[in-house]
A = this chain, B = another copy of it.
């Protein structure tokens, strides 16, 4: 009974799977390996201790609900490992994934009382949870942290605008090319440019359903388009839900709306 059908577990109920006491280790944030790639990079040593104190670390299996659309917006999260999907839905079940949050990204900011979106883990995810009052205290106490958050939200907004261009005006082919390049960039970011072998690899832990709901397509169209790219030797499958991009240049051309195959 390790991982059966109905996606269970709400992240902000009391005793969540593998919740670590934040007050135990002041070092947690100090030794966090992705800290330089996240909001937390704005903090000095004292600030990092405050962060560790204000947050709890969670480890969640695939398919776990993190936040639910319409529920009280009680917490803010920083993803430290794995991939989370954010989405909005229509009453009849149509769903739009508005973004994937990989390690280093935040989620859960809300001005309203309730979340205007849902969030669910794609694979095994580690994240730090900040309850609202604690986040507010941090923002007030550490102006550099607040400034960094403002910059991060501004970046997310620019990303969202790029995605609107994709959803409103790109063809299926252009959408999928853009997606693969984005996943390659995301993978490079989380791997920190460490190895040459990682080059041109994209990590694609999500299902075709998720990709389709992200690109405003059906799973069949996503599948066909990926197959076509594979047949044209623009990409090749790699182990572990990864895709090797054989011609970044061609894919870039396609993604930006110029014809070539």
A115 to chain B, nearest CB (A): 9
Q: Which of A112-165 contact B (CB under 8 A)?
A: 112, 116-117, 139-140, 143, 146-147, 149-151, 153-158, 160-165
Which residue of chain B has its CB nearest to the CB of A150?
B150
| A92 vs B90: C-alpha distance when bound (angstroms) | 33
| A139 vs B147: C-alpha distance when bound (angstroms) | 9
- Chain B residues within an 8 Å CB radius of A157: 109, 153, 156-157, 160
Which residue of chain B has its CB nearest to the CB of A115?
B158
Q: How many copies make up the complex?
A: 2
- Interface-facing stretch out of A40-48, A93-101, A188-196: A93-101
A237: Cβ under 8 A from any B Cβ: no
Q: Which of B91, B158, B215, B256 contacts A111 (CB 8 A)?
A: B158
- Chain B residues within an 8 Å CB radius of A216: 167-169
Which residue of chain B has its CB nearest to the CB of A255?
B90
Closest 9 CB pairs of A and B: A168-B216, A160-B160, A167-B167, A90-B257, A96-B165, A98-B161, A96-B168, A88-B165, A94-B169
A256 to chain B, nearest CB (A): 6
Which residue of chain B has its CB nearest to the CB of A152?
B111
- Chain B residues within an 8 Å CB radius of A167: 164, 167-168, 216
A110: Cβ under 8 A from any B Cβ: yes
A227: Cβ under 8 A from any B Cβ: no
Q: Which of B109, B139, B146, B213 contacts A154 (CB 8 A)?
A: B109
Given contact pairs A92-B257, A98-B165, A160-B161, A146 touches B150 in the complex (Cβ within 8 A): yes
A165 touches B109 (CB 8 A): no
